[in-house]
Structure 1
Amino acid sequence: MQIWKKNFIVTFLLFVLIINAGTFFLVAAVHRNEFQKETDSAVMEAHNIGTAAAALSGFEAGAGRTAQMGIKYRENGTYIQIREQDTEAGREVINMLPFQVEYTGEKRVWKQKIEGRCFLGIENSVYDNGIKLYILSLRDITRLCRNQNSRIWGSALAALLLSDGIGMFLYTTMRRIYRPVNNIAHELRTPLTNIQGYAQYLKAGKLNPEDIFFAGQQIEQDARNLRDIVDKLLIMGSVREGEIKTESVSSDELLTELKKRYPTVRMNCRTERITGDKTLLLCLMDNLLSNAVRAGTQAELTLEKHKIIVKNDGPPIDGRKLAALNRDIRLAKNEVEGNGFGVSLCHEIARLHKARLKFESDDRSGTVVTMYCSGALKR
């Protein structure tokens, strides 16, 4: 497995752990706070029920009023039972519990689920006006439990979506950062192997001047290739950091330098100056011209006010590969020529200059690459 994929997996799993742990503790804290508030309210309610029942017991119509109070509480989702003793044999003042609950004679709070409904139970006693009453209160908290369950599933779904989003962002970012690395080793190994081979050839001795000249020429060419790869990697490093040096550059100065590298390419200048990073613009045009020269017999570069156009008369690019080039999608190794990150680097440079690259190709016009500029690239 590639190193960047291992890094992605480790980083992603760490993010998933943090997100899910954070979500769990947050939801648990919210639920605990809600349940505590509900418990405090239920305990206060049970105390008030007992106090009211003790006060009503001294009246002749107290039993009827207590029953009415029980009905009213039941309509609001609280079921009560009041006894004069803390045993099953104690006389019941009122009993509206939906199911049988065993007395313990102690103050307690508990949660009970039965037949799909949740109840918060309170057992308490009240001593008022010389009368001691034992109260059992069951508050229906089914809605609260359902809301909490919904919150749990919603939080789990949100954590999953957030993890997926972070995973996609991490994967895209890390693949984009490490994309050139996949080909660097191979690209560096090839010229280094050639240099090593020709060096051993020279060490063998007894060579005529033509052979020595040829070996030296090949070593020089491979060394130049190594330098080009390193230069592009250094340029790509500055591109990744997103820092460019914007300046007004003479178009003739750019074309003069490019003509030294590509003397056979036709170059047209229709704007006097270009605003942007000179090194990056040269790198972009160098990459595009290198591809154009390699793909056809004739190539042409044109600088306009808001455009940089590179043409060649080579065979047309098939639709799938053309779409990948326009969308900056990585191609398979057998479809990549050269070091494999030239086009991607051009897209990066274009984006830094608030521009975009467009690849067009057909039998009649050959291949045309246009950099459309809306920001820095102006006269």
Structure 2
Amino acid sequence: MQLWKKNFLVTFSFFVIVVYICLFTMVSVSFRNDLGYLVKRASDSEQGIAYALQSIQELDGGHIRTDISYMANRYEKAGILLDVRYGDITLTDKIAMDDMPEGRFGFLTYGGRKHLYINDDATSGSRRLKITYMENIQPFYELQNRKFYGAAAAGILICAVIGVMLYATMKRIFRPVNQIAHELRTPLTGIQGYAQYIMMGNITEEDRFFAAKQIVGSARSMKDVVDNLLIMGNVKEGALSFVPIDIRDMLEDLKRTYPGIELEADIQSINGEPTLVRCLLENMISNAVHAGGDVKVTADAEGLCVWNGVSIRPREEAVLGPHGYGLAICQDIARIHRWKLKYDTSEKEGTAAKLIWGSAKTRLAPSAEMPYTK
């Protein structure tokens, strides 16, 4: 496994842990707050029932049992069970439990459901009025479970989105390093091999000259890689100065480098950074030439097109995107000039790299503007 992928897994795992700790902490705090509110509300409700029972006992005389039973039946419909004892007399008993837990309040499972119970004593005359209040809080726990599962689902969604973004970012950061290493390995291997060949000593002058020539060529390739890196750095920094460029002359110069291409230029100049524009055009033409087939370059007021007659099979079409070392530079240079670079491929018509100038203008000086083309 590549090092950057290991770094991604470690970073992503740490992020997942942090996300779920935060989410479950929020759910736990919310649960405690909601439970505290529920207990307070139940306690207030029980106190109200206790006051009502005391009033009934003091005012109702012989009808106390009937009135309290009626009151208990109404509360039962609301999910609240009451057990009321006046001394040794049971006035109502809606809780079918032999061993009721001790303590002021607590939680228990009754009838397969979660309940909150409150034990209370009140003095009424010479006897004590003992009240057991038990409220069904199963819906509360079901709501908390839904919150828990919702937080878990939200965590999965957040981690998935951030994971994709993190993977793409780290891949974009580390991919150029791998590509640069690959680009440098070939010329370095050539330099090392021919240098060892020269060190053998027992070679002719012609062979020595040939080896030295190959070393110079490999060194030049390394210089091109370094130049491209510097260009990419300038593109990223964005500290560029656009000037009028004789695009026709630049294309003619590139034609001398690639004499096999066909050139048609109906445009004289464009605005841009000369070094970057040349790098862009050279990359586009070089890619077309190396792909094989006839290459034709056309430029007009709308844009520039580099066409070659090689048809690319659908499964190879993905390579036309900005995935190569040179193509990444092309995309960055086009973007910073506010141009559009796209690739079209057809089995019948071949492949075309199209650079569209666009209609925007760029400022050359505080008091002057110049269009991209003329």
Q: Distance in 2 between matches of 1:235 and 1:30?
A: 54
Pair 1:67 & 2:51 matched: no
Instruction: Map 1:83-98 to 2 at 5 A.
Output: 83-85=85-87, 90-97=88-95
Q: CA 1:218 to 1:106, structure 2 compared with 1: closer, same or farther past 3 Å? A: closer
Q: Distance in 2 between matches of 1:3 and 1:69?
A: 72
Q: Which stretch of structure 1 is more off in the superposition, 251-260 or 353-362?
A: 251-260
Secondary structure in 1 matching 2:30: helix
Partner of 1:320: 315
Q: 1:200 is aligned with what amino acid? A: Q
Q: TM-score, normalised by structure 2?
A: 0.85
Q: Distance in 1 between matches of 2:36 and 2:304?
A: 69
Q: 2:162 is aligned with what amino acid? A: I
Instruction: Map 1:1-379 to 2 at 5 A.
Output: 1-59=1-59, 60=61, 61-85=63-87, 90-97=88-95, 99-100=96-97, 102-103=99-100, 106-107=103-104, 109-127=105-123, 132-205=128-201, 207-239=203-235, 241=236, 243=238, 245=240, 247-250=242-245, 251-252=247-248, 254-255=250-251, 258-259=254-255, 261-296=257-292, 298-313=294-309, 315-322=310-317, 324-328=318-322, 340-352=324-336, 353=338, 355-363=340-348, 365-374=349-358, 378-379=372-373
Q: CA 1:126 to 1:269, structure 2 compared with 1: closer, same or farther past 3 Å? A: farther
- List alignment gaps of at least 5 residues for structure 1: 331-339
Q: Which stretch of structure 1 is more off in the superposition, 48-57 or 224-233?
A: 224-233
Q: 1:343 is aligned with what amino acid? A: L
Q: CA 1:357 to 1:187, structure 2 compared with 1: closer, same or farther past 3 Å? A: same
How many corresponding residue pairs? 359
Q: CA 1:199 to 1:140, structure 2 compared with 1: closer, same or farther past 3 Å? A: same
Q: Distance in 1 between matches of 2:103 and 2:350?
A: 92
Q: Distance in 1 between matches of 2:221 and 2:106?
A: 78
Q: 2:311 is aligned with what amino acid? A: P
Residues 32-77 of structure 1: CA distance to partner in whole angstroms, max 9, x if unpaired?
A: 1111100011111111111211121012233333223222222222
Secondary structure in 1 matching 2:12: helix
Secondary structure in 1 matching 2:58: coil
Secondary structure in 2 matching 1:58: helix
* Aligned-residue RMSD, C-alpha: 2.8
Deviation at 1:156, TM superposition (A): 0.7
Q: CA 1:326 to 1:112, structure 2 compared with 1: closer, same or farther past 3 Å? A: farther
Deviation at 1:285, TM superposition (A): 1.8
Q: Distance in 2 between matches of 1:257 and 1:297?
A: 21
Q: TM-score, normalised by structure 1?
A: 0.84
